Structure 1
């Protein structure tokens, strides 16, 4: 098959323009469409199989998954009370904000609510909660319950039974509660395999929550009423005692009326004020002295753990500069003692010294506190003396007044106290009566807007959604796998790949020829001694005989394109010696070399094919398996060239074999020796074309040593098998060979699959174009 029938010979070496015919600069969309079509052509089976598997899994899921029904009910929060109820309420009613609503949602989803509903509806043996259904969720819950049961086998018998906790967890996993928009409405949902059961449970949850809120209000009001009752009883007793004290005092002093001259109110008030101040000072001094005495009594200087509580003596100890300084030094020594104890131990000498110094500071603090106590004692004695003097003055002033005036003051004080207690008693009595009446008015801040009814359709699984996701997901996964396979397919499949990656023209795409038995052999099947003496090549296989036996085949036409490229090579003045090589073994280079040589010989030109694969002379094993001498013997002069050449009587093709008699260690040195160079000079003089079968580039370095012998090289690459990176590496390691390459030949090409990989030229590979000119498909 001729791939590049190019009249302009300059394009054989320059990078080829890869833009498909008819595509302009704005054809990016067309390129993407062509790539997509090509991907579908190549990987349609992967896409279809993957999509079918995903859809089958979706159908299997729909078949096995048990249906789930979701019932919903809405609860209104902050239901306003009647105005008269709000006025009589003992408890504050804060407005419902976001935090309050979230709190109510958590109460709905609490374990207490779940346990109450489970007990109310007897859901302990419900199959949904016991994870006995076929759904995946039920299976997971069953595994979790098994794991919990296994982890708590050794738990004490007095603890809560784990299966009940597992049932509550399953119940809560099916329960959901959320706020409806920005409103004060909570929507409660519950999932069950039965529609009626779902509605029954969600209504029970709502009723349980509302009842719980009402009970909480009752309990709070009951506690407040109980406290009011106790406080009211105490206030009544105090008010009664105060009134009795007034009556008793009047009876004792025989007071009937308060007429008469009053004492000097200004004097009595002044003395009373002074006396109150003096008593306050005495009381303060007494309390301070008592604190000092208590503090000193509780402190033992000999005990290291005993320390003065300086906060207990008030501001005197905190404002004392001496105590503050001693305390800071003591705390510093305590810190050092702790650090040294952690590092060297409690009984270390340094720790003992620090501890002794801390004890000294503690004793100093004690002495200073004791001094302050003595000062406080002096202040107490002075305050007490001053109080006694003022009391004497007051007694003297009171003694000078009438007894009636003194009794009037006492009676006023007693009556004022009795009146205040009576007023407070009446206030508490009014609140108590309001609270008692409110308990008889049952109303909650929450209410159910509308009870849930059994849902008419299942909520999970949604058939249309699952199927849609299965179809879309299957196609997406199939396309992804197809794209991944396409990206991982780093081999040569089109001439455009060769020309863009290697920057070399693709001379030909040689079709793959399957091995087949020959029907009409070109030479005798049995090789006689006569044939060996006349050096006639062995009968070639069907593949090597294709160019002669099938001259109108696509294979032969592809070989002709190689011959045409050799004849129109612009880089070399002479293309007489052509080296055929490949990057890896078994890529078809020997077959291409033999077919090219037979084509040239069959066309009437004098041609010889030379086997220079000295380490693995596969061509010699095909054409001359019994050759006694070859290129090595001719080069070293032990045999003549005429004695070593074998001929094909059908094509008049000459063949110079390579006889391998043992391991050759320095084949690269042999190929670049002067003897081989002189041999090729003789071949140039006798033949029009010299086809050289060379070893591959990657395993050996022999090809690099033939640059002085070969006019041009042809690189054979196996279609769909040889990695791009391998060919690039092979050419990179042999730059002298790359400079002499006239092009690349893709061998073993699957022409039927080419239309899927080369979308721009898909019609090029149709057999109808070749049949029109009498060419066969093989």
Structure 2
């Protein structure tokens, strides 16, 4: 019977759990007592290294200079652009850091200060570590004296290693720090680097401005020639195509506009003459003595004749009334009136002839203008393509002229700025001689060595204690569970798993997979270990009824479903009536693996236990009956359902028809299904994942249920690494696996 460990019985003992390992004060004390030599050795070694470093290391002194990026200095002559408050791009400041650390700038310092002859850099006075390193490198070197270039490169690398340039927070200030064995030398080199940077910035600005000026001069000459050539091309094209320009545009366009205006006016005059002619024709057939004719014509002759006619008409009317119309005087008056009427008609005809003449003249002028317009339009159409080409030439000429003017202006500006002696940076803090060493810091180094040694020692001690917290041997499994370990199952998972239902048909009549490994590999170590499990169960059947066998594990993904499927098939292949039940109502992994297309199963069988056969799937190859679990979603009462009276009734019916009832149960730690079902089961096989399941997980799983402890018949270590397993079992000899055939 399993005996739980002390820290599960003693609920009042304080402890912390890390990855399934309980770490209490007592256990920490035990670790410290057992591993104190390791901790002491680590601390001693760390302090010894620190002391050796402090004794051998030369003191270093750090000098600091500060440079500020300030573009306002370059804006002294540029007051009109209003950019005094312009911000500097942070990337520009970061770029200056790289410039200060550049090889060329440091090399100029090395040559100016002649540092290759300095004892600190030429290797004539090395430290302990440098001396040892130099001797070792000398053993593998060619023994030839280094060249001047190599010496300078070595000094540059040494200065770069001791130089630190960084930007102060988000400001435009660069902090330049240099470390040296001498405080005077540290300040001297720091100031030299700062001065070299400022001078180099001025020189770079001068050279860039000079190159820009030279390029602008060359480009200005080219643009001047191009602008002149473009202007000449425009004039030559105009002369070739007889295109004359005026202040209002091209002459042809001006003529066309004027002619169009004259044509409009001529058409108006023609319409007016035609209206007068039509009017005179309309009144020619009327009585010319009427007032409407006189008023319409507004002619002084006709007006005078009509006045005479009216006077005679009045006299004629008076004398006719007095003397009668046949009277000689009345007849004379009538004759005079006819004469006047005839004169008026003649005058009207004369006016009509004048109007007709004016109309003909207006028509002739209009026709002449229309002819001229058509000729100009035809000429304009013929010159259309020439004008398009002219516009292109004029546009090119204007472009070259504008470019030339812009480049000429930039050339003048660059020429003025070429000798302007200001840069974008200035020195705001000169490096001074440091009064104390910056390294090594003895106290800080000793404290760091002590803390580092303690951390290393404690880490090593606890690693040696807890890295072996997983189970890898049958003895360890038996020590934790208190029951027999029935064997170690090797890892049979392929590199690429292809899941297909075992009970479904396939093209070749079989479906390869880990769930039917014992069918395809009946003489493998995996199958033989499961036979050992069956033998242990058969031995237990001699003393008690052992038909209902549960396969459980502490945590998910430990391989219990694979073990249950293969174990059931192994028993079925021996000819025993065997049924496999998917009792994990949460994940239903066994159902998805063996019969993914089924529509009913365990839950439906619980409603009518006597009709369970309608929900059973049988394998034609092995004769195994499988009762799947089909639920639409996870059940909140799965523990109650798996341990219900209906389940007990179903098991009672199954006991009468089957010799072995194998149930794949849910893992013990996540859910309570296995603990609730333990009262209905005869025996349990506990699956432990080799090298993964921790002792704490096993202890916590089994100690929570006394019934489960009693029903444990044994355990198996699953998914063991074959290579590691071979190392662990090397004591069994080289022929230990001669009876196993892993490939079918």
Same fold by TM (over 0.5)? no
Higher RCO (C-alpha under 8 Å, 6+ residues apart): 1
Scaled by the length of structure 1, what TM-score is found? 0.38
TM-score by length of 2: 0.40
